[in-house]
Structure 1
Amino acid sequence: MTKPGSLLLLLALAGTPVPDTVRPSSVKIHEVLGGPAGYIDLRNTTTTTLDIGGWSVQACTGGAVPVELATVPAGSEIAAGDHFLITGQGFGGTVQQLVVEAIVGDGEMLLDRRGARVDSIGWAPSSPCRENQAASACPGLAQARDAVSRDTDNNKADFGCVRPID
């Protein structure tokens, strides 16, 4: 490459924004229970604390486009390997980091502050929140990933029915 060409390349790269350091696999929707007493448990799968302020959770409510359920407040963080809990108003547990009216819909989607999909779960075959095959329905139970939050981008393979957290 010639010197003028190298200079143009350097100038072009200097104006390129640094990519977000959060990879799509860094934060997972680890567990979900729908309803007014429900919750969405987000899990940081990395070894560093992650800032999730400005991220949003969308609910798939039967339409073609998800609707906003919550925006994570600025300054919210998840420590390495830890969880962040979004709960419905009727949730009876002691940890409630972000409270919404209810966990609604046939799926949930986590978006980073740029609006890019980070993770999602859908339990209806037509849900725009599902990844590949829909997760199995779990009447009265929560849907959860395994202990390490395995993600194959197939909700049916990744989520199983579990007893809800208290």
Structure 2
Amino acid sequence: MTKPGSLFLLLALAGTPAPDTVRASSVKIHEVLGGPAGYIDLHNTGAATLDIGGWSVQACTGGAAPVELATMPAGSEIPAGEHFLITAQGFGGPVQQLVVETIAGDGEMLLDRRGAKVDSVGWAPSSPCRENQAAVSCPGLAQARDAASRDTDNNKADFGCVRPPH
């Protein structure tokens, strides 16, 4: 193999990061309220607008693997510091960027368009959506991170119970 061919092979094997690889961690599941009037609030903690078209949210519903809850339509974006709201059909709030039948399960998982996990939260000890320890269960209340969407990859430390905004 020639030297230029070797360099090409080395670069091909090393690869380059996909555009969302570096920024994907800036999107957090900020707040969740389950049920037919529930919602999932995604927060872009980064400094640039992020295209989330083709990303998906999976629901952990007691089975061994999460199931598809929603896929963000092409062109969906979250500006820097802003939120994207996925709501159930019975949600009573004014902002509804993506509507699903219900926010189901004992946890939710956000995947990028390649299917790589970006963030997740689970409130049952056996939920495949939980990160480290499960978040505290909040019957009738939402589970939320702090205002900065702090993420230590431990749901028990990261999420607390809050009143839903509506």
Map 1:3-152; keep pairs closer than 5 Å. 4-5=2-3, 7-13=5-11, 18-22=16-20, 23=22, 24-152=24-152
1:5, distance to aligned residue in structure 2 (A): 4.3
Point out where structure 1 has 5 or more consecutive residues left out of the alignment: none
Residue 53 and residue 17 in structure 1: after superposition, are their counterparts in 2 closer, same or farther (change >3 A)?
Answer: farther
Q: Helix, strand or coil for the counterpart of 1:118?
A: strand
CA–CA distance in structure 2, aligned partners of residues 5 and 42 of structure 1:
47
1:165, distance to aligned residue in structure 2 (A): 1.8
Q: Helix, strand or coil for the counterpart of 1:157?
A: helix
Matched AA of 1:140? G
Matched AA of 1:20? A
Cα deviation digits, residues 129-154 of structure 1 (max 9, x gap): 00000000001100000010000000
Cα deviation digits, residues 27-54 of structure 1 (max 9, x gap): 0000000000000000001010000000
**Which structure carries more helix by proportion?**
2
Matched AA of 1:147? A
Q: Helix, strand or coil for the counterpart of 2:25?
A: coil
CA–CA distance in structure 2, aligned partners of residues 47 and 21 of structure 1:
15
Matched AA of 2:143? Q
CA–CA distance in structure 2, aligned partners of residues 104 and 163 of structure 1:
19
1:13, distance to aligned residue in structure 2 (A): 1.2
CA–CA distance in structure 1, aligned partners of residues 145 and 63 of structure 2:
25
TM-score by length of 1: 0.93
RMSD: 1.7
Point out where structure 2 has 5 or more consecutive residues left out of the alignment: none
1:21, distance to aligned residue in structure 2 (A): 3.1
1:17, distance to aligned residue in structure 2 (A): 5.1
| Bigger Cα displacement from structure 2, 60-69 vs 16-25 | 16-25
Matched AA of 1:62? G
Q: Sequence identity of aligned pairs in percent?
A: 78
